[in-house]
Structure 1
């Protein structure tokens, strides 16, 4: 089902001047701040156990809810590292997957409903070693046992049970940090000061961009000829995808679904005309695809300065480990 109007309304409050009644949630925000502070302190003091792996760990994450471009950046890093002759692996929680046993080592036969949409997409785009495991330290160790010499942790900035050698935080340029408050008053999982502790912060829209590639059919090769399309997205920031389609010259009727939504054929019954979705959405639609369904793949492009800085730091990790 599509995102309800009430969901859209409350999320929109985080990215515009807030009404007075939003302050009623102040006690909950303060409680979350206390929980975040206490949790980090307990890991620092050793009250909670944090596992150090024998190979470098690079965490990609954000401090806000919603999409910031973590998956495309993970794909970029895996592809670049393999081009340099390394054997990277990626560990991820696999949100939305239904695996009964972990760690789950991805292979060509693992369906997206088992692994989750993002692991499926990353694996099939890169063919890198990929393990799905809510216990990321266990998943990371599995990657090392499989021969990986560096572990990329997708969306693990707040997963302190796994020690990391480098943290890369992503911010969406169009949304930034919203009103700067923690949930439920705002979109943040941790205070903005958390960004002072990461090794690198990338802004999706300035330091990096997601460049559209050629639109492809979902399970078919028919070309898209219409300039009117139904934009379909179940990602953290669907408007960014719709804006991309508009920039490509399409007239777009948007259809938003909850992030990681598990599509069914019935979701498209009332949608007339051609459909263009994200690649992450498309992997979940192959078993009921129609000739009117398409997806728009994207490639990560970093500015020369950001690319050089990111690559230099990762190569330094590999050199001294």
Structure 2
């Protein structure tokens, strides 16, 4: 969290780290040059690949974008599958994510994508391995959506979606002096801003909490019914405060807000007695928290990209040889 603040401006700490960022930039440029020269090889998945990633370190809202794209393609009659490395998982193999998969084995975000969309999801250390396993198991999949992987040049992509939140590009410097994984601006197909205050041109999206929270057994509780009750809000995501603020925007006033590191495993969670307070968490956290706190309620995120973004995505896919977008 301290680095996130450092990366917002070109202050003393950022300037101290700037020489290291030059080294980082040279190594990244060398790697890209090796791919362009053919010394390192890019492999194709066999179906169109949409990569949803970012150039800024830290969460910018990629996974909700992935789920929105999958749902949009399904509504248009195009079956999509999702691939990911499964950040933070305790396994290293290539495997399919099922509804009952342990997030610790497949990653919390792939588990959330699977449970929320029902789409085929595979994880692997090399995304191309996940893509090939997915198409072998589900030959009717017409589009693969990669959750992250903008800098994973070993896998060819047909459409790149670069996601930004309200930080924009921060101080504009490369890691570790700034938040950038690679220089911006850079060529990409679509830019999508997930925050309320886009820092520069691109498509926008609306984010809000769902009208009802969800329990571990699938039952729903209207958010309005929680107003005035003792609440504890928990978030182990990149920007916990954004979840807490959205709860307040819905008229809920948590007595306590617990901010945890992104991808927190909750192995050290001490159960809160339901008689004392209702525990609210994000959908991503719920898959792990329910093991320790089965009476916790997950509050889903409603994410709606602008129709113009989805139309532009459709146009990109329709232009690909051999792809029928409808």
**TM-score of the superposition, structure 1-length normalised?**
0.88
Shift of 1:32: 0.6
Aligned with 2:192: secondary structure? strand
- Tell me how far apart the structure 2 counterparts of residues 277 and 124 of structure 1 sit (CA, whole Å): 16
Shift of 1:132: 0.5
Shift of 1:76: 1.2
- Tell me how far apart the structure 1 counterparts of residues 189 and 282 of structure 2 sit (CA, whole Å): 30
- Tell me how far apart the structure 1 counterparts of residues 193 and 273 of structure 2 sit (CA, whole Å): 37
- Tell me how far apart the structure 2 counterparts of residues 31 and 46 of structure 1 sit (CA, whole Å): 23
**TM-score of the superposition, structure 2-length normalised?**
0.87
Shift of 1:270: 11
Shift of 1:320: 4.2
- Tell me how far apart the structure 1 counterparts of residues 171 and 125 of structure 2 sit (CA, whole Å): 30
Shift of 1:162: 0.1
Q: Which has the higher contact order (CA 8 A, sep 6+)?
A: 1
Find the counterpart in structure 1 of residue 171 from structure 2.
179
Given the alignment of the two structures, is residue 96 of structure 1 paired with residue 99 of structure 2, yes or no? no
Change (3 A) 1:149 1:24: same
Point out where structure 2 has 5 or more consecutive residues left out of the alignment. 197-203
Superimposed CA distance per residue, residues 123-152 of structure 1 (whole angstroms, 9 cap, x where no aligned partner): 011111111011111111112212122111
Aligned with 2:99: secondary structure? coil
Superimposed CA distance per residue, residues 214-271 of structure 1 (whole angstroms, 9 cap, x where no aligned partner): 3324425484534453321111122221221121112244321111110136355599
Given the alignment of the two structures, is residue 22 of structure 1 paired with residue 14 of structure 2, yes or no? yes
Change (3 A) 1:21 1:72: closer
Find the counterpart in structure 2 of residue 37 from structure 1.
29
- Tell me how far apart the structure 2 counterparts of residues 32 and 48 of structure 1 sit (CA, whole Å): 19
Find the counterpart in structure 1 of residue 241 from structure 2.
239
Change (3 A) 1:216 1:318: farther
Given the alignment of the two structures, is residue 286 of structure 1 paired with residue 290 of structure 2, yes or no? yes
Aligned with 1:283: secondary structure? helix
Find the counterpart in structure 2 of residue 277 from structure 1.
281
Q: Give the aligned CA root-mean-square deviation in angstroms.
A: 2.2
Given the alignment of the two structures, is residue 152 of structure 1 paired with residue 145 of structure 2, yes or no? yes
1:132 is aligned, of 99, 103, 123, to 123
1:250 is aligned, of 243, 249, 252, to 252
Aligned with 2:226: secondary structure? coil
Given the alignment of the two structures, is residue 225 of structure 1 paired with residue 215 of structure 2, yes or no? no
Change (3 A) 1:242 1:315: farther
Aligned with 2:264: secondary structure? coil
Aligned with 1:144: secondary structure? helix
Superimposed CA distance per residue, residues 159-214 of structure 1 (whole angstroms, 9 cap, x where no aligned partner): 00001111000000x211111111111111111122xx100000113511223113
Q: Relative to total residues, which structure has the larger helix share, 1 or 2?
A: 1
Q: Contact between 1:25 and 1:185, CA under 8 Å: does it hold in 2?
A: yes
- Tell me how far apart the structure 2 counterparts of residues 80 and 304 of structure 1 sit (CA, whole Å): 10
Change (3 A) 1:284 1:318: farther
- Tell me how far apart the structure 1 counterparts of residues 193 and 48 of structure 2 sit (CA, whole Å): 24
Q: Contact between 2:14 and 2:178, CA under 8 Å: does it hold in 1?
A: no
- Tell me how far apart the structure 1 counterparts of residues 99 and 214 of structure 2 sit (CA, whole Å): 20
Farther-moved stretch of structure 1 (311-320 vs 235-244) = 311-320
Find the counterpart in structure 1 of residue 309 from structure 2.
306
Find the counterpart in structure 2 of residue 263 from structure 1.
266
How many correspondences in the alignment?
Answer: 308
Farther-moved stretch of structure 1 (109-118 vs 266-275) = 266-275
Superimposed CA distance per residue, residues 85-127 of structure 1 (whole angstroms, 9 cap, x where no aligned partner): 2221111000111225x22012233221111100111001111
Give the 4+ runs in structure 1 shifted more than 6 A: none
Aligned with 2:25: secondary structure? helix
- Tell me how far apart the structure 2 counterparts of residues 157 and 78 of structure 1 sit (CA, whole Å): 18
Aligned with 1:287: secondary structure? coil
Point out where structure 1 has 5 or more consecutive residues left out of the alignment. 1-7
